[in-house]
Amino acid sequence: MNPKVISAVNQIVELLQSDDIGEKIAIATYPPYDVPCSKWSLPNQLLCLIAGTYDARGFRQWKAAGRFVKKGAHAFRILIPRIVKTVDMASGEESLSLGGFLTAPVFAASDTDGADLPDYEPPELPKHSLMDVAARFNVSIDSIPYQNHIMGHYSEGMFGKRIRLASPDETVFWHELAHAAHHRIAQADYRSRTTNQREVIADLTAASIGALFGEKLTTARKLKDHLSRHSKNPGKEALSLIKIVGVLMHGIINNTSETAAA
Cβ closest to Zn ion, residue 199 vs residue 215: 199
Minimum Å gap between C-beta 26 and Zn ion is 18
Minimum Å gap between C-beta 257 and Zn ion is 26
| Cβ proximity of 53 and 147 under 8 Å | yes
Cβ closest to Zn ion, residue 17 vs residue 195: 195
**Binding region for Zn ion (CB under 5 A) out of 76-84, 112-120, 201-209, 254-262:** 201-209
Size of site (CB under 5 A) for Zn ion: 2
Cβ closest to Zn ion, residue 113 vs residue 199: 199
Minimum Å gap between C-beta 80 and Zn ion is 36
131 CB-side CA count, 13 A:
11
Which of 165, 98, 83 lies closest to 126, judged by CA?
165
Cβ closest to Zn ion, residue 44 vs residue 197: 197
Minimum Å gap between C-beta 179 and Zn ion is 6
Minimum Å gap between C-beta 250 and Zn ion is 20
- Work out whether 181 is an interface residue with Zn ion (CB under 5 A): no
Cβ closest to Zn ion, residue 69 vs residue 134: 134
Which of 202, 241, 245, 248 is the binder for Zn ion (CB under 5 A)? 202
**Binding region for Zn ion (CB under 5 A) out of 23-31, 88-96, 102-110, 195-203:** 195-203
Cβ closest to Zn ion, residue 113 vs residue 237: 237
Minimum Å gap between C-beta 115 and Zn ion is 32
Q: Can you tell me the distance from the alpha carbon of 144 to that of 33, in angstroms, rounded to the nearest whole number? A: 10
In sequence order, which ranges of the chain are alpha helices (DSSP H)? 3-16, 21-29, 42-50, 59-64, 131-136, 170-185, 187-192, 195-212, 220-230, 234-253
Minimum Å gap between C-beta 202 and Zn ion is 5
Which of 158, 151, 166, 159 lies closest to 202, judged by CA?
151
Cβ closest to Zn ion, residue 4 vs residue 153: 153
Which of 212, 134, 124, 223 lies closest to 179, judged by CA?
134
Alpha-carbon torsion (47, 25, 57, 78), positive or negative = positive
**Binding region for Zn ion (CB under 5 A) out of 83-91, 109-117, 196-204, 245-253:** 196-204
Q: Can you tell me the distance from the alpha carbon of 161 to that of 150, in angstroms, rounded to the nearest whole number? A: 18
242-261 burial: b if 16+ Cβ within 10 Å, else e? eebbebbbebbeebbeeeee
- What distance lies between CA 181 and its chain's CA centroid? 21
How many C-beta neighbours within 10 Å does residue 94 have?
9
Reduced to 3 states (helix: H, G, I; strand: E, B; else coil), residue 35 is coil
Q: Which positions touch Zn ion (CB under 5 A)?
A: 199, 202
